[in-house]
């Protein structure tokens, strides 16, 4: 990630699932831009932020939090409230993927995916609400997926959870607009991370991307992070309740 000269003390932002992948890129990008970033993770890596500048690293605040546990979430935001009176943004990024045939997919696994990907968005947003409302112009960005509008084999739980994220986004946008909180559902397509690098690097997947993806490649975590930074840099009140697909038009193409 390229370092930029950020304005110091721009405000505070909370990012869930910030230990790796898209969440990490978002958190580090925002810290480099001058935001104080509360990074919520179940476990924080020992070398977290070691590749950032000293100034950016000082703006990273690692917080141990299980976003599927209401007690953990509520305790986390009580602690955040003790150090800041407002949050200018919340990025609900934490999520997981479990797949399998619908006819045999275990219900406990289905519920686990829903709780991690969808219920957590509602739970964390509730806990952060008063801090966001105090900012009088805050933004919630929920990380959805372009799978929310697709039928994908062996992915009923994941697709359902991401469709729910879109619904939660719309409802919160309507309810919280009076408090100047805008809510956006950011739905990426395939994004290359350390978690899926081996899968996306397979020869058959590479061939598939050549026909199914207009750009011929997956997105990068930095592209998603830059888009998040752009949303926060352009706080247009009318942009709320919407789902923005960041998939290079992949979801619009029928694979040949």
What proportion of the chain, given as a percentage, has pLDDT over 90?
76
Average pLDDT, the chain: 91
- Report the range of poorest mean pLDDT among 7-11, 50-54, 131-135, 172-176: 7-11
Is the pLDDT assigned to residue 256 strictly greater than 60? no
Which value, to the nearest 10 degrees, does the dihedral of the CA atoms of residues 215, 219, 224, 227 take? -10
Catalytic residues, by residue number, are 158
Is the pLDDT assigned to residue 242 strictly greater than 70? yes
Alpha-carbon distance of 26 to 30, in angstroms, equals 6
Model's pTM, two decimal places? 0.91
> pLDDT band at 227, cuts 50/70/90?
very high
For 12-243, CATH gives 3.40.50.720
pLDDT the model gives residue 254: 60
Domain residue limits, the chain: 12-243
H or E segment and range at residue 184: strand 181-188
Mean pLDDT, residues 76-105: 96
pLDDT tens for 58-87 read: 999 999 999 999 999 999 999 999 999 999
Alpha-carbon distance of 117 to 166, in angstroms, equals 11
């Amino acid at each position: 990630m390229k370092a930029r000269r950020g304005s110091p003390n721009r405000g505070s932002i909370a990012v869930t699932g910030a230990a790796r992948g898209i969440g990490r890129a978002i958190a580090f990008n925002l810290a480099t831009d001058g935001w104080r970033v509360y990074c919520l993770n179940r476990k924080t890596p020992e070398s977290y932020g070691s590749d950032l500048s000293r100034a950016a690293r000082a703006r990273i605040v690692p917080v141990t939090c299980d976003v599927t546990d209401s007690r953990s979430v509520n305790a986390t935001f009580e602690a955040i409230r003790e150090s800041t009176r407002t949050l200018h943004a919340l990025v609900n990024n934490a999520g997981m993927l479990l797949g399998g045939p619908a006819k045999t997919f275990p219900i406990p696994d289905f519920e686990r995916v829903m709780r991690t990907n969808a219920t957590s968005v509602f739970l964390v947003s509730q806990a952060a609400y008063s801090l966001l409302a105090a900012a009088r112009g805050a933004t919630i960005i929920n990380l959805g997926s372009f799978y929310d509008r697709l039928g994908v084999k062996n992915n009923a739980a994941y697709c359902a959870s991401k469709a729910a994220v879109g619904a939660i986004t719309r409802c919160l946008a309507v309810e919280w607009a009076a408090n100047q909180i805008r809510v956006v559902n950011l739905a990426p397509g395939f994004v290359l991370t350390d978690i899926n690098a081996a899968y996306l690097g397979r020869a058959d997947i590479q061939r598939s991307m050549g026909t199914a993806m207009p750009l011929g490649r997956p997105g990068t975590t930095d592209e998603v992070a830059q888009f998040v930074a752009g949303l926060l840099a352009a706080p247009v009140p009318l942009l709320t309740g919407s789902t923005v697909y960041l998939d290079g038009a992949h979801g619009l193409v029928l694979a040949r």
